[in-house]
Structure 1
Amino acid sequence: MGLVPTIDLSSADAPSAIDRACREVGFFQIIGHGVDPAVEGAAWDAATEFFRLPLDDKLAVAIPDGDAYGYGPFAVERLAASRGERTPPDLKETFSVGPFTEPPPAVRDDPSAAFVFSPNRWPSALPELETAMRSHYDAMASLVERLMSLMAVGLGLPPDFFVPSIDRHTSALRVLHYPDLSGRGIEPGQLRAGAHSDYGTLTLLRQDDAPGGLEVRGVDGDWHPVPAVDGAYVVNVGDALERWTNDAWRSTMHRVVVPSADVVGSTERQSMAFFHNANWDARIECVPTCFGPGRPCRHEPITAGRHLMDKFRSTQY
């Protein structure tokens, strides 16, 4: 059995299993999640077609300076920069979208919210991408609502505890393409995605089983592979949820590695990640069951928006 457990959301012990996984590892895989395979498949296939477009078509929807969404070209992002590390650029290209709703008036007046609510961009060469991404975005948001309810129960809270903090979430959906690395020069220390933790509440990942995949750093300090489980999503705790639980749950370091040099055949890889963020103005503070006598709150309260922007500013794009 690997480091990361697989949990069936339809089982009666799902809340306690989730709580245990979040305390011990910060990662788990879920089955019994109810996501429509047709919705997931349409998004996956549309993403594949997008990354096959000519570079000029992709660059036409490149992320502008100061914005969050659009195409991220190959070998530009450095995720390890969020930890203050200087590393070679990550060996991937991406396409990201954000909220499909307008910000509420109170948020609209906050200049720093413009980044999270920046426009989505769609390639004219692939009109079906918008419909597919929007449908998958909505499916992931619904799944997060279910997960957060189970998480609340696992923490000894009412099932609807998190609802007022996530009913206007500011989440992002990102599809990632890791090209075949055969014949490419790879710099020392270069990875497909540098070691990092995620910023928000939690992340849902759909990955394939191609070589050179996700690894999680255990409490033993070693890196452990997270194999693809058929039909499953990988879930990990983000920095905001770690803070919300007074560090009871772990936001764990993870990375995507370069395939072994002895791999035969293509090493191309693809994944889809839904980065869930709470409402912009949600207050992130110790939940009632995670502090008490002899267990003080470790962090000052902060809004989810400020927390997110503090994290983004630490990363070089």
Structure 2
Amino acid sequence: MKVCHMIGVDLPDGDLKESFNYTSATEDNDWPTESACPGFKTTNKDFFELCVPLHNRVLEVMAHGLNIEDPLFFVKRHAQPSRACLRSLFYPSLDDVTVKDQQVRCSEHSDYGGITMLFHQVPGLERHRVFLDGTPAERSQSRQSIVFFGNPNEEAVIDCTDNSNKYPPITCRDYLDQKYSATHQ
């Protein structure tokens, strides 16, 4: 199972969370076994497939709002195989955890892709970070959220839609690889 303990850029201690990332390129051996986690693989794959059309609709609305001639301009650049990712996040109970000074559930960050859809039962994300819960009752509860990161096809060229050339064109693969490298140095 891919479990990621993300490290905050300015924080000496890891975030208080676990995560599992699913993409269309996730290999079968990356999943927990069905006996250990019944329905996990099917549920993640099914939810990913439900997110794609919603994500594409948001992209269409964006194109319309930006007065782009082709309403599918962004959707076409997000065609499979894309770098879209479904991340399941688990924030465990803090009952048996020694929280270090300035430690948070999810450190300050920005998302790299075009569209991020957050699904959660309990609010928590504030200004691109998740703070520790306030009351003792809230801190004793575990929490879960799911995030769909909509990223373009790896070969899609990201450039200025207004033809300003303010930023040099770059492929999605190169852009994301640069961002991941800078984050996880």
State if a TM-score over 0.5 links the two structures: yes
The letter for the 1-side match of 2:137 is V
CA contact (8 A) 2:63 2:73 kept: yes
CA distance in structure 2 between the aligned counterparts of 1:88 and 1:123, rounded to whole angstroms? 27
* 3-state DSSP of counterpart to 1:126: coil
> Matched residues in 2 for 1:202 and 1:285: separation?
16
Q: Is residue 24 of structure 2 the alignment partner of residue 77 of structure 1? A: no
- Counterpart CA distance in 1 for 2:27 and 2:182 is 22
Match of 2:31 among 122, 137, 144: 122
Find the aligned partners of 2:151 and 2:137 in 1 and give their Cα distance.
Answer: 39
- 1:284 aligns with 158
User: Could you say if the C-alpha distance between residues 183 and 133 of structure 1 is closer, same or farther in structure 2, counting changes exceeding 3 Å?
Assistant: closer
Residue aligning to 2:19: 94
C-alpha separation in 2, matches of 1:263 and 1:86 = 23
Q: Which amino acid aligns with 1:268?
A: S
**Structure 1: 5+ residue stretches without partners:** 1-60, 62-69, 100-116, 217-253
Aligned equivalents of 2:137, 2:169: Cα separation in 1: 51
Equivalent-residue separation in structure 2 for 1:128 and 1:118 (angstroms): 16
Deviations along 1:264-285, one digit per CA (max 9) or x if unpaired, are 3533211001111100010100
Structure 1 segments, 4+ long, off by >6 Å, are none
Q: Hey, what does 1:264 align to over in structure 2? A: 137
Asked if 2 retains the 8 angstrom alpha-carbon contact of 1:259 and 1:267, the reply is no
Provide closer, same or farther for how the CA distance between residues 298 and 86 of structure 1 changes in structure 2, counting only shifts above 3 A. Answer: farther
Q: What is the Cα deviation at residue 183 of structure 1?
A: 4.4
Give, in whole Å, the separation in 2 of the partners of 1:283 and 1:133.
28
| Equivalences for residues 28-107 of structure 1 within 5 A | 61=1, 70-72=2-4, 76-78=5-7, 80-81=8-9, 85-99=10-24
Q: Once the 2 structures are TM-superposed, how far is the Cα of residue 93 of structure 1 from its aligned partner?
A: 0.7
**2:170 paired residue among 289, 302, 305:** 302
1:174 matched to which residue of 2?
Answer: 87
Distance in 1, matches of 2:141 and 2:130, equals 13
Deviation of 1:128 after TM superposition, in Å, equals 1.7
Contact 1:280-1:305 within 8 A present in 2 as well: yes
Q: Tell me the residue number matched to 2:184.
A: 316
CA-based RMSD: 1.9
SS in 1 for 2:137: coil
3-state SS, counterpart of residue 188 of structure 1: coil
Amino acid at match of 1:178: Y
Deviations 1:44-70 (A, max 9, x none): xxxxxxxxxxxxxxxxx2xxxxxxxx2
Q: Corresponding residue for 1:147?
A: 58
2-side partners of 1:215 and 1:276: how far apart?
20
